[in-house]
A and B are shown apart, each in its own frame.
Chain A
Amino acid sequence: MPVQDLKGRQVWQRRSGRESLAHWVMWLIGVAVFAYCWQQISASTTWFFVWDAPRIANDIWTRATPPRWEYITQLGKPIWDTLNIATLGTLFALILAVPVAFLAARNTTPSVYLVRPVALLIIVSTRSINSLIWALLLIAIIGPGVFAGVIAIAIRSIGFCAKLLYEAIEEIDDTQVEAITATGASRWQVMAYGIVPQIMPAFAGIAVFRWDINVRESTVLGLVGAGGIGLQLSSSLNVLAWPQVSLILLVILAAVVISEWVSAKVRGAII
Chain B
Amino acid sequence: MSDVDLRVGKPWKKPPLVQRTWLRWVLVIGVIAYLVAAYMTIEVNWSRVYEGLERGKKFVLAFTDPDFSSRSTDIWAGMIESIIMTVTSSVVGIAISIPIALGAARNIAPLPVYLVCRSIIAISRALQEIIVAILLVAIFGFGPLAGFLTLSFATIGFLSKLLAEDIESMDRSQAEAIKASGAKWLQWINYGVQPQVMPRLIGLSIYRVDINFRESAILGLVGAGGIGATLNTAFDRYEYDTAAAILLIIILIVMALEYISGIVRERVQ
Q: Could you list which residues of chain A lie within 8 angstroms of chain B, going by C-beta atoms?
A: 30, 33-34, 37-38, 40-42, 44-46, 49-50, 53, 56-57, 60, 77, 80-81, 84, 87-88, 124-125, 127-130, 132-133, 136-137, 140-143, 145-147, 150, 193, 200, 216-217, 219-220, 223-224, 233, 237, 249, 252-253, 256-257
CB-CB contacts of B37-63 with A at 8 A, as 1s and 0s?
A: 010011111001100110110010000
Contact residues in A for B84 (Cβ distance below 8 Å): 37, 40-41
Provide the bound-state CA to CA distance between A107 and B52, in Å. 39
The one of B55, B144, B255 in contact with A124, judged by C-beta atoms closer than 8 angstroms, is B255
Interface centre among A44, A141, A224, A256 (most CB of B within 10 A): A141
Decide if A50 touches B145 in the complex (CB within 8 Å): yes
Given contacts A44-B144, A140-B235, A141-B52, contact A57 B139 (CB under 8 A): yes
CB of A148, distance to nearest CB on chain B (Å): 9
Provide the bound-state CA to CA distance between A94 and B134, in Å. 31
| Closest B residue, CB atoms, query A254 | B126
Kindly state whether residue B140 has any CB partner on chain A within 8 Å. yes
Provide the bound-state CA to CA distance between A142 and B59, in Å. 12
Provide the bound-state CA to CA distance between A80 and B215, in Å. 26
Contact residues in B for A223 (Cβ distance below 8 Å): 130, 134, 221-222
Secondary structure at the B interface, as helix, strand, loop or mixed, is helix
The one of A129, A147, A217 in contact with B44, judged by C-beta atoms closer than 8 angstroms, is A147
Provide the bound-state CA to CA distance between A256 and B123, in Å. 12
Decide if A88 touches B17 in the complex (CB within 8 Å): no
Provide the bound-state CA to CA distance between A142 and B47, in Å. 9
| Closest B residue, CB atoms, query A85 | B42
Kindly state whether residue B99 has any CB partner on chain A within 8 Å. no
Q: Which of B1-57 contact A (CB under 8 A)?
A: 14, 17, 34, 38, 41-45, 48-49, 52-53, 55-56
| Closest A residue, CB atoms, query B80 | A40
Decide if A133 touches B128 in the complex (CB within 8 Å): no
CB of B89, distance to nearest CB on chain A (Å): 10
Decide if A220 touches B14 in the complex (CB within 8 Å): no
Given contacts A34-B87, A45-B144, A137-B243, contact A56 B139 (CB under 8 A): yes
Contact residues in A for B250 (Cβ distance below 8 Å): 128-129
Contact residues in A for B81 (Cβ distance below 8 Å): 40, 44
Kindly state whether residue B141 has any CB partner on chain A within 8 Å. yes
Q: 20 more A-B contacts (CB under 8 A) besides A40-B80, A217-B128?
A: A40-B84, A49-B140, A49-B141, A50-B145, A56-B139, A60-B135, A60-B138, A84-B42, A88-B42, A124-B258, A128-B250, A129-B251, A133-B231, A136-B221, A136-B231, A143-B45, A147-B44, A147-B45, A233-B131, A237-B134
| 26 chain-A/chain-B pairs, Cβ below 8 angstroms | A30-B91, A33-B87, A34-B88, A41-B88, A41-B143, A41-B144, A50-B141, A60-B135, A88-B38, A124-B251, A124-B255, A129-B214, A130-B217, A130-B218, A132-B221, A136-B232, A136-B235, A141-B52, A143-B49, A143-B52, A145-B44, A145-B45, A150-B42, A223-B222, A252-B131, A253-B127
Provide the bound-state CA to CA distance between A220 and B217, in Å. 15
Kindly state whether residue B153 has any CB partner on chain A within 8 Å. no
Kindly state whether residue B254 has any CB partner on chain A within 8 Å. yes
Interface centre among B14, B81, B143, B238 (most CB of A within 10 A): B143
Provide the bound-state CA to CA distance between A22 and B87, in Å. 21
CB of A224, distance to nearest CB on chain B (Å): 7
CB of B132, distance to nearest CB on chain A (Å): 10
| Closest A residue, CB atoms, query B56 | A141
Decide if B87 touches A45 in the complex (CB within 8 Å): no
Contact residues in A for B38 (Cβ distance below 8 Å): 84, 87-88
Contact residues in B for A60 (Cβ distance below 8 Å): 135, 138-139
Interface centre among A56, A137, A142 (most CB of B within 10 A): A142
Contact residues in A for B243 (Cβ distance below 8 Å): 137
Kindly state whether residue B148 has any CB partner on chain A within 8 Å. yes
CB of B26, distance to nearest CB on chain A (Å): 15
Contact residues in A for B42 (Cβ distance below 8 Å): 81, 84, 88, 146-147, 150
Provide the bound-state CA to CA distance between A180 and B148, in Å. 54
CB of B200, distance to nearest CB on chain A (Å): 19
